[in-house]
């Protein structure tokens, strides 16, 4: 997995968290290692996800349910993160990224998701609070 940031800088503690999050996200997407990914999510009632599949979910239990459901059905060979915007302001942060997924194991498949994520520092540790991801539709297809 490669992570590039083209806009914004982050404090060292947040960058360390983000690097760990991206590694765990890759494990979730390529090896169904969802539990490690979930450890970096907020367990607060306002944790939420609008995943590329599975609709919208609010609350840690619902987030965990949909991510587990997805990892049992969809795996990819690789994921590459391209962080376009990264901003950190006090105890809140957000990122805007493109995520390239590839799979040549079964039938060749590639997908790019556009992903917006919100992060919050909780009890001194950064956590993923919200994720919204959907398929990138090239303009030529509109």
User: Hey, what domains does the chain have and what are their CATH numbers?
Assistant: 3-128 (3.10.450.50)
> Are residues 34 and 68 in contact, defined by beta-carbon separation less than 8 angstroms?
yes
Taking 70 as the pLDDT cut, the residues of the chain under it are: 1-8, 105-108, 141-142
- Widest distance between CA atoms in the chain: 46
Q: In the prediction, which pLDDT does 105 show?
A: 67
140: helix, strand or coil: helix
Q: What is the 3 state secondary structure string of 68-129?
A: HHHHHHCCCCEEEEEEEEEEEECCEEEEEEEEEEEECCCCCEEEEEEEEEEEEEECCEEEEE
pTM score above 0.75: yes
């Amino acid at each position: 997995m490669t992570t590039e940031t083209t806009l914004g800088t982050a404090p060292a503690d947040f960058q360390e968290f983000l690097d760990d999050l991206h590694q765990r996200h890759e494990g979730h997407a390529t090896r169904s290692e969802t539990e490690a990914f979930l450890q970096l999510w907020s367990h607060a009632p306002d944790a939420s996800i609008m995943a590329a599949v599975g609709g919208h979910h609010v609350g840690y239990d619902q987030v965990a349910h949909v991510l587990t459901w997805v990892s049992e059905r969809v795996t990819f060979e690789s994921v590459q993160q391209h962080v376009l915007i990264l901003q950190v302001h006090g105890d809140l942060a957000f990122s805007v990224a493109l995520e390239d997924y590839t799979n040549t194991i079964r039938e060749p498949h590639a997908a790019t998701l556009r992903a917006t994520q919100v992060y919050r520092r909780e009890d001194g540790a950064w956590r993923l609070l919200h994720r919204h991801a959907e398929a990138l539709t090239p303009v030529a297809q509109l």
